[in-house]
């Protein structure tokens, strides 16, 4: 969920919807037809904000030159890209390299659109296992992440100081709730987040859900109920505003940027806005109920190699994918996309260049793919019932236990 709040949201959208979008292209137009010239390779990506003059498109062309081929690039919004990729596979004209939102990988893999790393020879040995898991289906890996982002807690140093809260004391749910109580007593506002009834709401709830020890296969577990009860308790006590029910990550950020809130749950994509907020801030990973870093969901894209009728194209496609995800290119690209790199080698380099990224690297190391645990295409249905339960509980129409019980029944 990145590239300002707009693409941040698209990285969390899982439901494939039919929309019309225009494509921008490097080279000869944005046609989805496979290039007839064997010296031209097609790459589709979800970054329509980057035109021919951008560093991203220059990287694509540079990797093409290195592989001895020309690049024909098509850029589409995430949901449109998924639809077009499925259609192209049916028509036998898939792109040679496809860069897609990580939760979409399982959808495309189960549809037979993608080749596995066993088939295409893409080396993923250096990639962090927790990030790679988002592209794993039934033991096989389909592609490699180009970068990742996730969620953490931003905090306003001045608000916490005025409330007498030492941020180092915030290590688990009880200590976080105690800090919120102090902030409210001091006349300030506690925490804001997004609980909207969309995938975005599930995305923001997952760190607390997983941080309770809950599993997505059991939405009605005692642990899950404790996580939703935590949020409901914050609203009831005035530690979080009722606006969270309708907040997107953008509007919740705007609340935090007002300078009145102690904490805000948001992602790496807000770092530039945080620097412009006009007050000193810090970042800490979201804690689990008992302490330590909670697993937050990963955003970010995978570089994949679709199945082709002409299998002799895989060798060059592998070279292109390897070039795009080489250590130096990951470093350059992830700086552009506000991503944390998917390998420890590049993460260390990022932190050395910008110490403010350290808590984000820690959060990414603890993060988890939404389709991990072999959930694959089951995740969208589970997520929909999750956000409905969150809405129901926070609005007061059902208790957390009853809301999650209904959600689990609906999933079954």
* pLDDT tens sequence across 16-30: 332 222 233 333 333
**What residue ranges of the chain have pLDDT lower than 50?**
1-36
> In angstroms, how far is the first alpha carbon of the chain from the final one?
29
Angstrom distance (rounded) from CA 69 to CA 89 = 22
Q: What is the pLDDT of residue 376?
A: 87
Reported pTM: 0.84
Query: Where along the chain do the CATH 3.40.190.10 domains lie?
Result: 4-149+298-366, 151-296+375-411
Give the pLDDT confidence score for residue 37 in this predicted structure: 54
Q: Give pLDDT, residue 158.
A: 98
DSSP secondary structure letters along 85-128 = HHHHHHHT---SEEEEETTHHHHHHHTT-B--HHHH----TTB-
CATH 3.20.20.140 fits 4-149+298-366, yes or no: no
Q: Round to whole Å and give the CA distance between 145 and 194.
A: 26
- pLDDT given at position 373: 85
Q: Vertex 233, ends 182 and 410: CA angle to 5°? A: 155
**C-alpha to C-alpha distance for 202 and 194, rounded to whole angstroms:** 9
Residue 242 DSSP one-character state: G
pLDDT value for 47:
93
Task: Give CA–CA dist 81/341, Å, rounded.
Answer: 23
Give the model confidence (pLDDT) of 195-230 as tens digits.
999 999 999 999 999 999 999 999 999 999 999 999
Domain topology for 151-296+375-411: D-Maltodextrin-Binding Protein; domain 2 (3.40.190)
Tell me, what's the pLDDT at 155? Answer: 98
Kind of pairing between the strands at 136-137 and 140-141 = antiparallel
User: Rounded to an integer, what distance in angstroms lies between the CA atom of residue 99 and that of residue 11?
Assistant: 12
What is the CB neighbour count within 10 angstroms for residue 37? 11
């Amino acid at each position: 969920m990145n590239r300002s709040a707009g693409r941040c949201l698209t990285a969390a959208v899982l439901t494939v919807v039919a929309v019309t979008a225009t494509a921008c292209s490097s080279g000869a137009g944005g046609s989805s037809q496979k290039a007839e010239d064997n010296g031209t390779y097609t790459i589709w990506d979800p970054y329509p904000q980057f035109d021919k003059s951008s560093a991203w498109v220059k990287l694509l062309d540079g990797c093409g030159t290195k592989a001895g081929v020309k690049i024909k690039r098509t850029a589409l919004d995430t949901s449109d890209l998924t639809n077009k990729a499925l259609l192209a596979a049916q028509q036998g004209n898939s792109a040679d390299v496809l860069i897609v939102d990580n939760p979409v990988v399982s959808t495309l893999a189960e549809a037979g659109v993608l080749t596995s790393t066993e088939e295409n020879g893409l080396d993923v040995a250096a990639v962090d296992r927790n990030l790679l898991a988002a592209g794993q289906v039934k033991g096989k890996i389909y592609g490699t992440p180009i970068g990742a982002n996730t969620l953490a807690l931003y905090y306003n140093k001045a608000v916490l100081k005025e409330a007498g809260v030492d941020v180092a004391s915030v290590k688990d749910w009880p200590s976080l709730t105690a800090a919120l109580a102090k902030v409210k007593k001091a006349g300030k506002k506690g925490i804001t987040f997004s609980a909207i009834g969309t995938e975005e709401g599930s995305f923001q709830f997952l760190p607390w859900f997983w941080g309770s020890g809950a599993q997505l296969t059991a939405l009605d577990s005692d642990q899950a109920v404790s996580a939703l009860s935590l949020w409901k308790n914050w609203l009831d006590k005035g530690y979080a505003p009722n606006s969270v029910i309708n907040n997107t990550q953008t509007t919740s950020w705007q609340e935090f940027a007002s300078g009145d809130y102690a904490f805000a749950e948001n992602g790496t994509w807000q770092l530039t806005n945080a620097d412009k907020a006009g007050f000193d801030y810090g970042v800490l990973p979201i804690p689990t109920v008992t302490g330590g870093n909670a697993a937050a969901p990963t955003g970010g894209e995978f570089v994949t190699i679709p199945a082709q009728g002409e299998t002799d194209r895989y060798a060059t496609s592998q070279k292109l994918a390897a070039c795009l995800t080489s250590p130096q290119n990951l470093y350059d690209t992830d700086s552009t996309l506000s991503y944390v790199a998917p390998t420890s080698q590049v993460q260390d380099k990022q932190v050395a260049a910008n110490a403010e990224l350290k808590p984000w690297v820690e959060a990414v190391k603890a993060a988890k793919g939404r389709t991990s645990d072999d959930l694959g295409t089951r995740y969208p249905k589970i997520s929909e019932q999750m956000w409905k339960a969150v809405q129901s509980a926070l609005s007061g129409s059902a208790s957390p236990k009853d809301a999650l019980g209904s959600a689990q029944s609906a999933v079954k």
